[in-house]
Amino acid sequence: MVLGRLYSTLLRQSRRVAAARPLYVLTEFWLHGMRSAGGDPEWFFTTLERLRFIALWLPLQGRGPRVSCEEFLPRLPPFKPEAPDSSYINLLFEWPAPSDS
């Protein structure tokens, strides 16, 4: 699913998203792509946090640390038009958080 569409789906369906259990949202978190599709990356991330999702950074191998929006957004690589695929980070949003189950 295109990240811009995921943003608009979350905007329209946040109550349904909150009712599903367990739920995982895997994203290639790409600021430029989300903004180009009319989305707001900070709103997207913080909305999932408000719904009690936890965000996990996914490196190329394995599972990385838990991250928050305020610590994560500054870590994103800058957008490079000559290499647009190098400016995203894989994130897994997980709900309920492991401590909630």
25-78 residue pLDDT tens: 888 888 888 888 888 888 889 988 888 889 998 877 767 788 888 888 887 878
d(CA 59, CA 68): 16
pLDDT digits (tens, 9 = 90+) for 73-93: 887 878 888 887 777 888 899
Mean local confidence (pLDDT), 10-17:
67
pTM: 0.70
Q: What is the 3-state secondary structure (H, E, C) of 44-93?
A: HHHHHHHCCCEEEECCCCCCCCEECHHHHHHHCCCCCCCCHHHCCEEEEE
Q: Which residues lie closer than 8 Å to 1 by C-beta, 6 or more apart?
A: 9
